Amino acid sequence: MIKVLVTGGAGYVGSVLIPELLHKGYYVKVLDNLMYNSMSLLPYFVDDRFEFIKGDVRDEKAVQQALKDADYIIHLAAIVGAPACQRDARLAEEVNYNGTVNLHKLRSRSQGMIYASTGSNYGAVENGVCTEETPLNPLSVYGVTKTNAEKLLLDSGNVVAYRFATAFGLSPRLRLDLLINDFAFQAVKNGSIIIYEKHFKRTFIHVRDMARSFLFALENYAQLRGEVYNVGSETMNFTKEEIALKIKDKVNYFLYFADFGADPDQRNYEVSYEKIRAKGFETTIAIEKGLDELIKAYRTISLIRPFSNVD
């Protein structure tokens, strides 16, 4: 039985990925420090193919225990997003970079790794469409720490690095700091959205498609290894204003465009996903479906405590 270690497996992406891995027949080991006391993985403790280690990627003992007998590592553990990393830059450096160094140092080179990187690595892009060859210019603590960790791993050869589009969608460990998740929440719960830099464009990916991409990497590791891939879809590239208007088609709320505020990563560009598509992976969930799910949930649940950011 193939054994997969997922760091940060109790987070936003991990809590969607874990049941998919188990469904596919993998033995799943999760290393997570439960910083946000998430109980998203409780249903899987009854499965003999599931193992949980409460620990931190910065802790050598915990990492050594977690790595034992693992065939593959899916590395999700990170302080995610520019605002969260800005609040505690030292923690972001320790977890995002030093934690990756620790994991990389202790793994066997025979253990394949799939690394959750980010499109924030590109920073501000003047013109054109970002490909995997576009020079990286990270502007935030988040972008810098993820870029440095990605480079470290890619230099080793035995890794697949995914630069994801901006995530959205429902997860057992819901995040409200993600743009679409936040906009839908504000529209439903507060009846208003204030938007700055309304013309800024970015690409989005549903969290279930992110989970699918990791399964794809496991199943096609030999042909993907040693490379970095943008993961998303050109059909999911929208401005902030366009997202807000899509929500307005579904929810009656007040929309205000402000002249203040700025995205620390200055994400305002289009991205090519041809490289991963040529390997056989495409996303499946459109913005509209993801919005319908979010709005239904927000209207149903009386209180959702906003989580910040550790995946």
34-48, 50-64, 158-172, 177-191: least confidently modelled range: 34-48
What pLDDT was estimated at residue 262?
60
Structure confidence at residue 309 as a pLDDT band (50, 70, 90) = very low
The larger pLDDT score, comparing residue 25 to residue 196, is at 25
Mean pLDDT in residue range 131-148: 93
- How far apart (Å, rounded) are the C-alpha atoms in residues 79 and 85? 6
Strand partners, 159: 113
Average pLDDT over residues 15-36: 96
The two tokens of residue 298 are 């927000």
Separation between Cα atoms, residue 159 and residue 111, nearest integer Å: 9
- In one-letter notation, the amino acid at residue 251 is V
SS (HEC) of the chain: CCEEEEECCCCCCHHHHHHHHHHCCCEEEEEECCCCCCCCCHHHHHCCCEEEEECCCCCHHHHHHHHCCCCEEEECCCECCHHHHHHCHHHHHHHHHHHHHHHHHHCCCCCEEEEEEEHHHHCCCCCCEECCCCCCCCCCHHHHHHHHHHHHHHCCCCEEEEEECEEECCCCCCECCCHHHHHHHHHHHHCEEEECCCCCEEEEEEHHHHHHHHHHHHHCHHHHCCEEEEECCHHHEEEHHHHHHHHHCCCCCEEEECCCCCCCCCCCCEECCHHHHHHCCCCCCCHHHHHHHHHHHHHHCCCCCCECCEC
Percent of the chain with pLDDT over 90: 80
- Alpha-carbon span 256 to 271, nearest angstrom: 28
CB 70 within 8 A of CB 218: no
What pLDDT score does 21 carry? 98
Q: Kindly state the average pLDDT of the residues 132-139.
A: 91
Q: Which domains does the chain have, with CATH numbers?
A: 3-168+203-234 (3.40.50.720)
Separation CA 237–CA 202 (nearest Å): 5
Model pLDDT for residues 240-295, shown as the tens digit of each residue = 999 999 999 999 999 998 876 565 555 677 899 999 999 999 999 999 999 999 99
* Backbone φ, ψ for residue 168 (5° rounding): -160, 170
* CA–CA gap between residue 145 and residue 84 (Å, rounded): 13
- Which residues fall within 8 angstroms of residue 289, CB to CB, at 6 or more apart? 206
pLDDT of residue 310: 34
| CA gap 117, 154 in Å, rounded | 11
Do the Cβ atoms of 38 and 11 come closer than 8 Å?
yes
Model confidence over 50-96: pLDDT tens digits? 999 999 999 999 999 999 999 999 999 999 988 889 999 999 999 99
| pLDDT number for residue 299 | 93
pLDDT tens digits, one per residue of 207-249: 999 999 999 999 999 999 999 999 999 999 999 999 999 999 9
pLDDT score for 115: 98
Report the pLDDT averaged over residues 120-140: 86
Predicted confidence at residue 263, as pLDDT, reads: 59
pTM: 0.93
pLDDT of residue 82: 85
